[in-house]
Chain A
Amino acid sequence: MKQVRKGVVLRREDLHVFEVDPALMTRVPQDVTDAEQTRIVRNRWEYLDWMHRHFAHNTLLLSAVTEAPAHGPGQSAH
């Protein structure tokens, strides 16, 4: 488990999903399994894609239309 910044950890490198530092979760149970976590992340991306399609026929990205870089500061392809 890697501390990413104050209050945030990276436990699952495979999924690259950030988590709240469990030390802060003393009042709320943490009972989502890894399989469920994977399911949630996948469904989220599917859902966001769905929303794009719902609002427009075509989703354009700034990096494809201008010389803007695809990745912003601190972000990398994963």
Chain B
Amino acid sequence: MSDEIRAAMPEVSGNGHQDVREVESEFVRGHLLQAYGCFSSGHKFCREVCPVYQVTRNEQHTPTAFHANVVAMEKGAARLEEVADNYSYCTLCGGCELRCPNTLFVGDFYRNRTRTVKLVQDMRAAANKAGLGLWPRWQRWVEATMVGKNEPVLDYEQIRPVDPNRVADWAKDLPFEIPRGGENILFVDCEAAYYRTSLPKAVAKILHAAGVPFGLMYEQWCCGGPSLEMGYPDHARYLAEHNVADWKKAGAKRVFVLDPHDYISFVDMYPQFFPEEELPEFVFMIDFVAELLDQGKIQFVKPIEKTVTYHDPCRMNKRLGKWEAPRKILRAIPGLTFIDVDHVTQWAYCSGAGGGFAVEHPDLAKKIADLRIARAKELNVEALVSACPWSERPLTSSGREQQLEVLDLLEMVAEAMGLND
């Protein structure tokens, strides 16, 4: 950590280190029963859907191994510090835990299911708590986030913080003003606010054109999800607390969310930190656009003459079961030829961008993105449409190499509504 960053770091608990044996026994105690739930099955139905395994073909990067390690630790056959690094080989896409028969076939009957995502996150947190120092790039990423209050998305090399005062700069050259505060808040994810600024602009135009009043936060911070995913739950909470306070001050009743990663933080992580009644309603923009379309509040007037296929963002499809709205929108765009790959096949697809994977393992993440683009190429389409800004950067770069265009669904909606003219 540079001195500059250190000086600017806020006080957040969870930076201190605990004895690794203590951390291990606490971890094993907390996860043993669920670990046996997998270890005693050991059937590995999860394996071929796992995007990381698909590019490493290494059995130690699988949910089966993640669970077996816990039993091995209990039996003294492994130590936490010997196996912890394996848990960095995961994009937290959730494909495995849905595909697992313990979820898919009987999760409803027993109301107990496989929770690999949680296991991986908890192991990352445990390793950090024990001060193992396994993942310097994640550490730097989270520290830079604490300073920049948003993720350091403009500098993957050095991982330098962004300027928190520029989080709403994307809105500057819009033809209309967006107020601060209000009942409807648009939350613009870090990647979109600083890097893919065309996306929040498109969303603002859509809402404006549909006559939906909305404002921005007084001071928007990172949702905190990535900090949790990289094993820094206290930092995640620190960021989350700020956002909840900001919404309260704004009088927010509804928060429009344009990014799947933010959305899952809000509906999955925030309820673990705050009572439900303190939280606003979270509306995923794609769902909202589908609704507006249904109600006739927006119209597609401009054809987009292209043949495309669609990439299901992992968190939407695999972790939240949302796959219908984007398909509905694509089918409604005039001129568009939509070649669908069903969402079940896509349990095995991923862009490699999630769960901090691309920060710590950029080479493997690139292989995952390359594979996703290659699969789209086989369909003889002109473009791959995604609905997740995090996926769009690696996919665009792999797409450039393989000559395939990558588009954002909400940006296409703005285009089809004629809002770019």
Interface residues, chain A, with chain B CB atoms under 8 Å away: 17-20, 25, 27-32, 36-37, 39-44, 46-47, 50
A28's partner among B33, B107, B342, B344 (CB-CB below 8 A) is B33
Indicate if the CB atoms of A20 and B345 lie closer than 8 Å: no
- Considering the chains assembled together, what is the distance between the CA atoms of A72 and B110 in angstroms? 25
A47 CA to B318 CA, complexed, in Å: 12
Query: Which residues of chain A come closer than 8 Å to B344, judged between CB atoms?
Result: 43, 46-47, 50
Which residues of chain B are near A20, meaning CB under 8 Å? 109-111
The answer to whether A47 and B320 have CB atoms under 8 Å apart is no
Contact A40 B113 (CB under 8 A): yes
Q: Which of A28, A41, A46 makes the CB contact (< 8 A) with B108?
A: A41
- Of the listed stretches B98-106, B143-151, B306-314, chain A binds B98-106
Residues of B contacting A19 with CB < 8 Å? 108-111
Q: Does B160 contact A (CB under 8 A)?
A: no
Complex Cα gap A47–B108 (Å): 15
Give me the interface of B with A, judged by CB distance under 8 Å.
Answer: 33, 37, 98, 103-105, 107-113, 320-321, 342-345
A31 to chain B, nearest CB (A): 7
Complex interface: chain B residues within 8 A of A39 (CB)? 320-321
A30 touches B104 (CB 8 A): no
Among the interface residues B104, B108, B113, B342, which one has the most CB atoms of the partner chain A within 10 A?
B108
Could you pull out 28 A-B pairs where Cβ atoms are within 8 angstroms?
A19-B110, A19-B111, A20-B109, A25-B110, A25-B111, A25-B112, A28-B112, A30-B110, A31-B111, A31-B112, A32-B107, A32-B108, A32-B110, A32-B111, A32-B113, A36-B107, A39-B321, A40-B98, A40-B108, A41-B108, A44-B104, A44-B105, A44-B108, A46-B343, A46-B344, A47-B344, A50-B344, A50-B345
A32 to B97 alpha-carbon distance, docked (Å): 13
The listed residue (A17, A32, A44) touching B112 by CB distance below 8 A is: A32
- A-B pair count, CB < 8 Å, reads 60
Residues of B within 8 Å of A41, CB to CB, are 108
Q: Please name the residue on chain B nearest to A11 by beta carbon.
A: B111
Task: For B109, give its contact among A18, A27, A29, A43 (CB under 8 Å).
Answer: A18
CB distance from B26 to the nearest CB of A (A): 17
| Cα A40 to Cα B344 with chains together (Å) | 13
Closest A residue to B343 using CB positions: A46
Interface residue from A25, A27, A31, A43 paired with B321 (Cβ < 8 Å): A43
User: Chain B: which residue is nearest A25 at the CB level?
Assistant: B110
In the bound complex, what is the Cα–Cα distance between A37 and B37 (angstroms)? Answer: 18
The smallest C-beta distance from A50 to any residue of chain B, in angstroms, reads 4
**Distance A19 CA – B110 CA, assembled complex (angstroms):** 6
Which chain A residues border B321 with CB–CB below 8 Å?
Answer: 39, 42-43
Q: Are A29 and B108 in contact (CB under 8 A)?
A: no
In chain B, what residue has the closest Cβ to A27? B33
Decide: B107 and A37 in contact? CB cutoff 8 A: yes
Shortest distance between the CB of B313 and any CB in chain A (Å): 16
A61 to chain B, nearest CB (A): 21
Q: Determine if B98 and A43 form an interchain contact, defined as CB atoms under 8 angstroms apart.
A: yes
Closest Cβ of chain A: how far from B269's Cβ, in Å?
15
**Which residues of chain A are near B112, meaning CB under 8 Å?**
25, 28-32
Residues on A with beta carbons closer than 8 Å to the beta carbon of B320:
39
B98 to chain A: which residues have CB within 8 Å? 40, 43
Min CB distance A33 to B, Å, is 9
Distance of A24 Cα from B320 Cα, bound (Å)? 29
What's the least CB distance linking A22 to chain B, in Å?
Answer: 8
Q: Residue of B at shortest CB range from A8?
A: B109
Interface centre among A30, A40, A46, by most chain B C-beta atoms within 10 angstroms, is A40
Residues of chain A lying within 8 A (CB to CB) of residue B345 = 50
Whole-angstrom CA separation of A44 from B104 in the bound complex: 6
Given A46-B344, A50-B342, A50-B345; A40-B104 close (CB under 8 Å): yes
